[in-house]
Amino acid sequence: MSDPMSDQPRNNPFWSPAVAQLHPYVPGEQPKTTARLIKLNTNESPYPPSPKAQAVLTQDGLARHLRLYPDPESTELCATIAAQFDLKPEQVFVGNGSDEVLAHAFYSFFKRPEPLLFPDITYSFYPVYCQFYEIEARTLPLRNDFSIEVEDFAIEGAGGVILPNPNAPTGRYLPLADIEKLLRLHPSRVVVIDEAYIDFGGESAVALINRYPNLLVTHTLSKSHALAGLRLGYAMGQAHLIEALNRAKNSFNSYPIDGIAQKVATAAIADREWLADNCAKVIATREWTCAELAELGFDIVPSTANFIFAKPPKVSAEALFLALRERNIIVRYFNKPRISEYLRISIGTDEEMGALVAACREIL
């Protein structure tokens, strides 16, 4: 059988020419068993989700609700998200993971003749959506220290801008003043700020929404809320942008969020105290890990995320990746220009990061 993850265009008489040409996104490895593994490769939370979210799943009669279709508008969930961010429910859109939200955003705002702007080193799903929706991509190189220079995005005739803040896989954060500059550079095009990792120390651009009709901010429950398995992401923006996303969604799948996910996500979002505690723990472990790895001679990019991007001393990133893998520690290695000497390491528990540091010390 052919490898379904292979990136090579292939021919099959049953396939449409379009699907034969696709270069699908390749997610980080999800091993079938995590029993003996320290899994630091896909930026999940090392801790279980809020007990209030977990409690929903043990409620009596939960399964009975599955007889009916779920609320297609996720009304209660949108209202809960809106209340957390001081927005109106019509300023919120939910999707099956922020990947789905992003896919609808690409279709709704960026499918135009002009090129979409994003950094050369960024979330690798963006070029995949560009190909899927036939959107021209124009990538702008990050500076040598992996920082984003907003002036580089001052390009006339762009179809829109998207970037993660903090950026992935670098973890570098762009201050809100720079996001505002970006919004003013492209007042008649949508700027999507993908805030998948914002809860780990950054300041959200949500506060700018009511002043900028071109701003869309996306969040996920996969990282700081420890609910990657639930598949829940959301977008926030002025109502006219949310209406566009709903038009796209209702032309594709009217029921993307199952009824149980709506309930669990509503409970998770409402539990702000748990969120703050969880992020504080991850941030403390991140700072400890950075200090330890710096002492071993790693070159570490300043991180505001739940992962770090670091270049090992003495050995290549690939060699260290393989040596860690042999010790049952999985991190992420990208064999790509400019970043092939770095590893992206998700923040695990203190114990897991202790084991990582000890393994690095031994290998180096």
Site membership for ligand PMP, residue 216 (CB under 6 A)? no
**Secondary structure class of 236 (helix, strand, coil):** strand
**Out of 164, 171, 259, 312, which residue is the one contacting ligand PMP (CB under 6 A)?**
164
Q: Is the dihedral of CA 295, 299, 303, 305 positive or negative?
A: negative
Q: Are residues 272 and 339 in contact, defined by beta-carbon separation less than 8 angstroms?
A: no
Residues 122-151 that bind ligand PMP (CB under 6 A): 123
**In this complex, which beta carbon is closest to ligand PMP, that of residue 228 or of residue 329?**
228
Segment near ligand PMP (CB under 6 A), from 97-105, 155-163, 201-209, 351-359?
97-105
Tokens linked to 347: 């923040």
**In this complex, which beta carbon is closest to ligand PMP, that of residue 196 or of residue 267?**
196
Site membership for ligand PMP, residue 119 (CB under 6 A)? no
Residue 123 CB, nearest approach to ligand PMP (Å): 4
Site membership for ligand PMP, residue 97 (CB under 6 A)? yes
Site membership for ligand PMP, residue 346 (CB under 6 A)? no
**Secondary structure class of 243 (helix, strand, coil):** helix
Tokens linked to 168: 């992935």
Residue 106 CB, nearest approach to ligand PMP (Å): 12
Site membership for ligand PMP, residue 168 (CB under 6 A)? yes
Q: Report the b/e string of 166-204 with b at 16+ CB within 10 A.
A: bbbbbbbbbebebbbebbebbeebbbbbbbbbbbbbbeb
105 closest CA partner among 284, 324, 252: 252
Binding mask 224-243 for ligand PMP (x = CB under 6 A): ----x----x----------
- Residue 131 CA to residue 140 CA, distance in Å, equals 17
**Total site size for ligand PMP, rule CB under 6 A:** 12
Where along the sequence are the contacts to ligand PMP (CB under 6 A)? Answer: 97-99, 123, 164, 168, 194, 196, 220, 222, 228, 233
